[in-house]
Structure 1
Amino acid sequence: MAALSWLTPSHFIIVGLLVGFAIAHSGLAALRPRGEKLIGARAYRVLFALVSIPFASVLIIYFIIHRYDGAQLWNVQGVPGMFEGVWIASAISFVFLYPATFNLLEIAAIQKPEIHLYETGIIRITRHPQMVGQVLWCIAHTLWLGTTFMLVTSAGLIAHHLFAVWHGDRRWQAKYGDAFLKVKERTSVIPFLAILQGRQELKLLEFVKPAYVGILLFVLGFWWVHPKLIQASQQLTW
């Protein structure tokens, strides 16, 4: 038993939270066509947010509190440039995670929420930017923390987003049919692969948009609030 003393209950709890979030998030996404017919697109977007945001908040807070649980497999936090490297990688991950995935007016349900099919901006690099951003974030934070708890968390997050690649393509094809198949032919899941194969062209001017300025401001703001968020989370005893 001494050999497994590092296997704290938090390892199992974070897996449970990740599985629960994946079921809620992907399940509601799969039920979206039926849900919108029943209660309307705006109401379903609000329902989606009311379920996903609190669930994600609990998951994030629990992760922050327990991120150093378990065995410390390595410690590179004292290596020169490592802190800056993790922040740069995290900033890049947010560029992939957010600007191609939502419209703020749709989140507020001011405009009618839609599933958008397009291949501009970040989609030229990868058809699934959320997955790429999440993998990059996991790699950076796993390297920084070096704990078994972080490894378990990263494995769960990456598994969910790899499933979301298949799930998202399936939903897009069901909604758009041949139009999606044509986009699929011109894009790739692996970053830059379609560009390297000549199936896609990178157009940098498409990145000159307010959404990317918003991401830059978000990263700067998160840099400032990050220590405060950790301090506030650690006051809890979950």
Structure 2
Amino acid sequence: MQFTLSGNLLQGIAPYGSHGTMLVLILGFACAHSGFAYLRPWGEEWMGTRLYRLFFACVSLPLALLLLIYFFNHRYDGIILWNLQALPGIHTTVLLLSALSFFFLYPATFNLLEIAAIQKPELHLFETGITRITRHPQMVGQVIWCVAHSLWIGSSFMVVTSVGLIAYHLFAVWHGDHRLERKYGQSFRELKARTSVIPGLAILQKRQQLRPREFFRWAYLGVFSFVLILYAFHTQMVSAASRVAW
């Protein structure tokens, strides 16, 4: 059985071609995700902390799923700029980089109860574990993911997707710092002085000290398990996405 997305939606953005459509989808997700994150103080005051978190998730998750489905269905569109898939070791390299990217994308897993709004969601100042390596691990993880998939796929669509995703996450670095400074003021400025966006820079400059013991957390086991599940069901995910006629 195939599912077809709304004809109005298709007619609205299809004229841009798959490359342009992907950029429009990334822009739409960015506006919704970062926009509602910025409006969080007012939204929580109006709707309550837990209800606003649920509202935020109900907007962001479907948009992220839409991005993923469209990416799966069009990843080889356009011109094949390079094809490295036959190179010895490239498959293993891509797998390892992809797995590594999720260990940088992990921090929210430390607060699963807050994500589900079971506990009161908070805007945290993190300075443990991987945030000692980089203050913005999500951005670093996204860059690693884009590099890995660009190496494997090599299409112009993949390059456009990577540029769009990385551009948004670079904006999110500024946006996230702005939100934290707005909430925490001097405390965040002091944390910012002790950390770095570029991975490992603060450690090399002796502004930060890596503490390996902080990486022994159940959350990392959860990330590892998630990576294994993704790998095991990757083919099924791609097949399921192909049933959406878009």
Question: TM-score normalized by structure 1?
Answer: 0.95
Report if the CA contact (8 A) 1:100-1:129 is conserved. no
**Secondary structure of 1:93 counterpart:** helix
**Secondary structure of 2:196 counterpart:** coil
Q: Which moved more, 1:227-236 or 1:39-48?
A: 227-236
Report if the CA contact (8 A) 2:54-2:117 is conserved. yes
Paired residue for 2:176?
168
Deviation at 1:176, TM superposition (A): 0.2
How far apart are the structure 2 equivalents of 1:100 and 1:45?
A: 13
**1:17-32 superposed matches below 5 A:** 17-32=25-40
Q: Which has the higher contact order (CA 8 A, sep 6+)?
A: 2
Q: Determine whether 1:66 maps to 2:70.
A: no
Q: Determine whether 1:185 maps to 2:190.
A: no
1:142 to 150, 156, 161: 150
- Runs of 4 or more, structure 1, over 6 Å off, are none
**Secondary structure of 2:187 counterpart:** helix
How far apart are the structure 2 equivalents of 1:84 and 1:235?
A: 28
Report if the CA contact (8 A) 2:33-2:60 is conserved. yes
**Secondary structure of 1:103 counterpart:** helix
Deviation at 1:31, TM superposition (A): 0.2
Q: Taking every aligned residue pair, what percent have the same amino acid on both sides?
A: 60
Deviation at 1:236, TM superposition (A): 2.3
Read off the aligned partner of 1:96 and give its amino acid letter. Answer: F
1:105 to 78, 91, 113: 113
How far apart are the structure 1 equivalents of 2:126 and 2:75?
A: 37
How far apart are the structure 2 equivalents of 1:124 and 1:131?
A: 14
How far apart are the structure 2 equivalents of 1:76 and 1:237?
A: 29
How far apart are the structure 1 equivalents of 2:186 and 2:115?
A: 28
Q: In 2 relative to 1, CA 79–31 (structure 1 residues): closer, same or farther, beyond 3 Å? A: same
Paired residue for 1:131?
139
Paired residue for 1:90?
98
How far apart are the structure 2 equivalents of 1:184 and 1:102?
A: 21
- State the Cα RMSD in Å: 1.2
Q: Determine whether 1:215 maps to 2:223.
A: yes
Q: Determine whether 1:10 maps to 2:18.
A: yes
**Secondary structure of 2:91 counterpart:** helix
Deviation at 1:108, TM superposition (A): 1.2
How far apart are the structure 2 equivalents of 1:220 and 1:101?
A: 16
How far apart are the structure 2 equivalents of 1:74 and 1:103?
A: 40
**Secondary structure of 2:107 counterpart:** coil
1:194 to 189, 194, 202: 202
**Secondary structure of 1:163 counterpart:** helix
Question: TM-score normalized by structure 2?
Answer: 0.92
